[in-house]
Amino acid sequence: MGVKIKEWKGAWWVFVDHQGRRKAKRAGPGLRGRKLAEAAATKIAAKLLDGDTSILDKPPQPTTAPMFADVAEEWLRKYPALHAVRPATMDNYRSFTEKHLIPFFGSVPVTDITAQSIEDFIEAKRAPGGSVRWAGKALSDGSLRTGLLALRLILQRAVRMKVLPANPIKEVEWRGTPRIDQVDPFSGPELRALLAAARRVDLDFAALLQVWTQSGMRAGEVCGLEWQDVDLEAGTALIQRTWSRHRLGPPKTGPARKVSFLHPVPDDTPDWRPGSTTESRSAVTALRRLTIRSMDPEAFVFGRGRAPRSSMDLHRAWRRVMAAAKVRYRAPEQLRHTFASTMLSRNAPLLYVQAQGGWRSASVLLRVYARWMPHEFSGPLAVLQPVPVRQPAALPQPAATPAQPEPVPAVAAGRVSDA
């Protein structure tokens, strides 16, 4: 009689050899599969010792559940057709599924994926060598967080297919490092030096930077601006597309929004209202003086006709301007952080800033930029603050005379006054 466990074809198995009769039973992959195999082997050995050979009488059950790779590939094909998902988001899901999920779970029946096997996957990816792009490096928690969203959706499809009774990822115990927003805004003098250097280097790029700085747009939204979106008389722009990964798509938070590009963010002023300074209004003049201003309404404002400005070209021009301005280097995306922090520091309404920048909610602004908000109101908003109310002084008690009743004791009088 022999009962053994062995890892074979990416999973742990129990092999039984008793009186010339043999049987193999699959337990599952990973550490969880090994524990199941050990427990099953102990139970089978005990039954055989008692003369119970029923385990050998049962024919092996064929695996009817689909493989994880089949479910994942079907999900990759159908999910973008059934949901209004951003192309960039779907690219991230597809990349992670093909590079990480299918190589790890692909040959496993989807019914064998458990919370324990998912935790084994997370452990492997956070260990050295978990990254595919960087040899010997661990996969970042940010990438893993996005990938686990894809895994959740794939397994949820298996639930809808009636293959899984429940989604095992709901029982996974994992908490990655919290997201850290790299907010390092420019100061007012730095912004003014940056724009002055841009005007010396490239007037067209200077116009782009001024519009970007004074509107709070994202980089892809600035590059995706068309002339039909811009109202030069009002100093506003309609944000209804973004240029990202060499293709146009909707704005990150979905619906179109109208923004002003006249906020005096670079100016030395406590005011936040659009067009409140002469310099902020000069953005309109800068747009009118662009070297090439197409009459085609669908031409890109900062591109070449119907070809938007590439990300590589934008970053190349940015580095030239930063070098000319002699300002500590930061990525151009910090202009958006500068807009939010400056506007909030000047008491601009929270919901107004959210609507201008297209943040998903006001809570996002508070989480990232609350430290730039003033703790006390001043100026015109000070009238909204409650004014302390003075308590009226207690009336003097009349002096007692022999003809009057006996005076009230001091303790009682104090109680009457307090009331």
Higher pLDDT, 271 or 87: 271
Per-residue pLDDT at 408: 41
Domain for residue 389, yes or no?
Answer: no
Kindly state whether residues 52 and 145 are assigned to the same domain: no
pLDDT for 349: 95
Same-domain pairing of 287 and 161: no
Q: What local confidence, expressed as pLDDT, does residue 331 receive?
A: 94
Question: What is d(CA 53, CA 60) in angstroms, rounded to the nearest whole number?
Answer: 14
In a domain, 129, yes or no: yes
Q: Structural domain of residue 132, as residue ranges? A: 68-171
CATH number where 257 lies: 1.10.443.10
Lowest-pLDDT range of 14-23, 50-59, 204-213, 301-310: 50-59
> Is 119 in the same domain as 228?
no
Over residues 146-173, mean pLDDT: 92
pLDDT, residue 40, reads: 85
State whether 116 and 201 are in the same domain: no
Task: Encode 346-362: b = buried (16+ Cβ within 10 Å), e = exposed.
Answer: bbbebeebbebbbbeee
pLDDT per position as a tens digit, 24-66: 888 888 888 888 888 888 888 888 787 777 777 655 544 578 9
Is residue 42 domain-resident?
A: yes
Q: Residue 392 contacts by C-beta under 8 Å, 6 or more apart in sequence?
A: none
d(C-alpha 313, C-alpha 310), whole Å? 5
Based on the fold, state whether residues 152 and 243 are members of the same structural domain.
Answer: no
Lowest mean pLDDT among 119-123, 170-174, 415-419: 415-419
Whether pTM exceeds 0.75: no
Residue 158 pLDDT class (50, 70, 90 cuts): very high
Statement to judge: residues 117 and 228 lie in one domain: no
Question: What CATH number does residue 145 fall under?
Answer: 1.10.150.130
Residue 178: which pLDDT band, with cuts at 50, 70 and 90?
low
What is the structure's pLDDT at 419? 35
Provide mean pLDDT across the span 345-353.
Answer: 95
45 within a domain of the structure (yes/no) = yes
Q: Is 80 exceeded by the pLDDT of residue 179?
A: no
Choose the final residue of a domain: 120, 146, 171.
171
Average pLDDT of the residues of the chain: 84
Q: Answer whether 239's CB lies under 8 Å from 312's CB.
A: no
Q: Please report the pLDDT score of residue 231 as a whole number.
A: 96
Residues 118 and 194 in one domain: no
Structure confidence at residue 416 (pLDDT) = 34
**Averaged pLDDT for residues 399-405:** 47
Residues 158 and 192 in one domain: no
> Are both 41 and 84 inside the same structural domain?
no
Q: Which amino acid is at 107?
A: S
| Local structure of residue 257 (DSSP, 8 states) | E
Give 391's pLDDT tier (boundaries 50, 70, 90).
very low
Give the model's pLDDT for residue 50.
Answer: 77
pLDDT at 188 > cutoff 80: yes
**Cβ atoms of residues 30 and 116 within 8 Å:** yes
Residue 180 counted as domain residue: no
* 263 contacts 280 by C-beta, under 8 angstroms: yes
Question: What one-character DSSP code corresponds to residue 14?
Answer: E
CA distances from 185 to 37, 125, 134, 188, 293 (A): 56, 33, 30, 10, 31
Percent of the chain with pLDDT over 70: 86
- Answer whether residue 397 shows pLDDT above 60: no
User: Is pLDDT of 137 > 70?
Assistant: yes
Average pLDDT for 191-218: 96
Single-letter amino acid, residue 20:
G
| Whether residue 335 is found in the same domain as residue 203 | yes
Task: Tell me the Cα Rg of the chain.
Answer: 34
Structure tokens belonging to residue 357: 């920048």
Last residue of a domain, one of 118, 136, 171: 171
| Alpha carbon distance 346, 121 (integer Å) | 48
Domains held by the chain: number? 3
Q: pLDDT of 294-319, one tens digit each?
A: 888 999 999 887 888 888 899 999 99
- 2 to 6, 55, 58: CA distances (angstroms): 13, 13, 18
Element (H, E) at 314: helix 311-325
Q: Is residue 405 part of a domain?
A: no
Residues 86 and 129 in one domain: yes
Is 399 part of any domain?
no
How many CB atoms are located within 10 Å of the residue 387 CB? 6
Q: What is the Cα 419 distance to its own chain's centre? A: 56
Cβ pair 275, 281 in contact under 8 A: yes
Q: What is the pLDDT of residues 77-128, one digit of tens each?
A: 999 988 888 888 888 999 999 999 999 998 899 999 999 999 999 999 999 9
Per-residue pLDDT band at 1 (split at 50, 70, 90)? low
Q: Is residue 37 part of a domain?
A: yes
- Given 171, 205, 231, the domain boundary residue is 171
- pLDDT tens for 220-251 read 999 999 999 999 999 999 999 988 877 888 88
Same domain, 321 and 295: yes
pLDDT > 90 in the chain, percent: 52
Question: pLDDT at residue 405 above 50?
Answer: no
